[in-house]
Amino acid sequence: MFFLRETHRVLPEKADSLKEFLNEYLFPSYIKNGAKLIGSWLTSTSDEVIVIWEYPSYQEYENITERIQKDELYQHAQPNLQQFILCSYQDFLTPTGTYSSPKQSVTVSGFITNEKNETLLVKTFWRSDTWELPGGGVDEGETLEKALCREILEETGIQVKLVGVTGVYSNGSNTTIVFLGKAVGGALTTSKETKEVQFIKLHPENLKQFIKRGKYIPRVIDAMKGQCLPYESFKVRPYQLLKRLNGNVDWN
C-alpha cells in the first residue's frame, strides 16, 4: 500500500470552514475516483488540517490523481480552496505493517413515489451523468430507516413513510439496502449534495433514459415490482423494538 499525507496550514478562525469544504467538495471527488480516505485531523492549535490517503501503489496514485484532476466537482472546488488555506504541502508515508480490521460501509437508498406514482430521483454534483435514488451513508449508531429518512429530507426536502426492503446489494466493501416508501410531506428542494431533484414517471421502457449507471438499474427494477421484505430496528441490553416495517404495501 501507498500513503499520502496532505497538510493544510490555515488560520484558526477558518479551520471549521475548511473542514466543511473538504468534506462536502474535495473528499467526494477523491473517493469516487479510487482514493481511500484514512482520516482527517485538526491540530490542537487549530492551524493545521492533516489528511491521509491510501492508494494500492504509486502507479495507481498517479492514475487516480489524473482522474481527480479531470473531475467536474474537483475543478469546481479547487479555485475556492485558496480562500481557506495559507499553504499546503504533501509527503509520502511507508507503512510498517497492517493493523486495521476489514470494514464495510453501509448505505441506504429509497424508491419513493408520490400520489401520481412518480419516482423521486436526484442528480448529485459528483455523479451528474445520471439520475439515481436518493439516500446516503448510515452514521455510527444510526438505524437504517432513520438514516434514510434523514438523507432523503436533507437531499430533497421530502418527508417519507417507508414500507420495507426491496433489495440488498454488495460489492465486497459497501453494502446498500434499498427501501420502498411514499412521499408524505415537504417540498422539492436541492441541497449541497444534489444539483437536481425531481419526481419522474418511470417505467421499464424509459428507465435507462434516466438511470445511466448499470449498478443502479437492478435496484430500481427490483423496487418497481413493489415486493418488500420486513425490516426491524432494535436495541439490546435490554432488548427493545424500535421500528418494524411489515413489508406490506398499505399506505393507510
What's 76's domain CATH number?
3.30.70.100
Number of Cβ atoms within 10 Å of the Cβ of 218: 13
Q: How far apart are CA 79 and CA 56, in angstroms?
A: 28
Give the range of the structural domain holding residue 19, as residue numbers without chain letter.
2-93
Does one domain contain both 137 and 210?
A: yes
Does one domain contain both 114 and 223?
A: yes
The verdict on residue 250 lying in a domain is no
For residue 134, the SS3 value is coil
Domain end marker among 93, 120, 147: 93
Please write the tens of the pLDDT for every residue from 38-96.
Answer: 999 999 999 999 999 999 888 999 999 999 999 888 888 888 888 889 999 999 998 88
Q: How far apart are CA 59 and CA 39, in angstroms?
A: 22
Per-residue pLDDT for the chain (252 aa), expressed as one digit of tens each? 789 999 999 999 999 999 999 998 889 999 989 999 999 999 999 999 999 999 988 899 999 999 999 988 888 888 888 888 999 999 999 888 766 655 788 999 999 999 999 999 999 988 889 999 999 999 888 999 999 999 999 999 999 999 999 999 998 888 999 999 999 999 999 998 899 999 999 999 999 999 999 999 999 999 999 899 999 999 887 899 998 998 877 655
The verdict on residue 82 lying in a domain is yes
101, 130, 206, 217 from 201: Cα distances, Å: 44, 16, 9, 15
Tally of domains within the chain: 2
Domain end marker among 93, 128, 144: 93
The verdict on residue 98 lying in a domain is no
Does one domain contain both 118 and 155?
A: yes
Which residues touch 13 (CB under 8 Å, ≥6 apart)? none
Output the pLDDT for position 251.
53
Does one domain contain both 59 and 165?
A: no
Does one domain contain both 113 and 199?
A: yes
Domain end marker among 93, 121, 156: 93
The verdict on residue 251 lying in a domain is no
Strands (E), 146-239: 158-170, 174-186, 194-200, 231-235
pTM of the model: 0.64
Q: How far apart are CA 197 and CA 132, in angstroms?
A: 10
Output the pLDDT for position 13.
93
The verdict on residue 252 lying in a domain is no
170, 251 in Cβ contact below 8 A? no
Q: Roughly how many angstroms between the first and final C-alpha of the chain, as a whole number?
A: 53
Does one domain contain both 131 and 86?
A: no
Does one domain contain both 208 and 239?
A: yes
Give the three cell numbers for residue 114.
408520490
Does one domain contain both 179 and 68?
A: no
Residues marked active site are found at: 196
- The CATH number for 215's domain is 3.90.79.10
Does one domain contain both 113 and 68?
A: no
